[in-house]
Amino acid sequence: MMPTIDNTIEEILTLAAAHFNVPREGLSPDDDFFKKLGINSLQALDLLTKLESHFRIELPDYELQGVSDFRTLAERIQSRL
């Protein structure tokens, strides 16, 4: 059974919180992850690598251009599941 977008968002938020050691309840789907997590593009790439391996998918760079909030990221991941 395919996970719902809400499941995917929840997993991403939980993983991001654990990865950057921030409280999960402080993150919401529409947050800009660069601002909210205080990360740079290298750290974002690190997170994406972790997400790709978690969801067992590959996200091409062009699909991530301009993506900076968790919900859009979840939609891109969801489309590959």
- CA torsion sign for 42, 50, 20, 38 is positive
Q: How confident is the model at residue 65 (pLDDT cuts 50, 70, 90)?
A: confident
Q: How confident is the model at residue 63 (pLDDT cuts 50, 70, 90)?
A: confident
In eight-state DSSP terms, residue 2 is: P
Q: Please name which of 59, 62, 54, 65 lies closest in space to residue 80, comparing C-alpha atoms.
A: 59
Q: Where are the domains of the chain?
A: 5-19+28-78
Contact predicate 70/30, CB 8 Å: yes
Q: Give the distance from CA 26 to its chain's centroid.
A: 15
Instruction: Please say if the pLDDT value at position 42 is more than 80.
Output: yes
Q: Classify domain 5-19+28-78 at the CATH superfamily level.
A: ACP-like (1.10.1200.10)
pLDDT in tens, 7-39: 999 999 999 999 999 999 999 999 999 999 999
CA–CA distance, 23 with 26 (Å, rounded to integer): 5
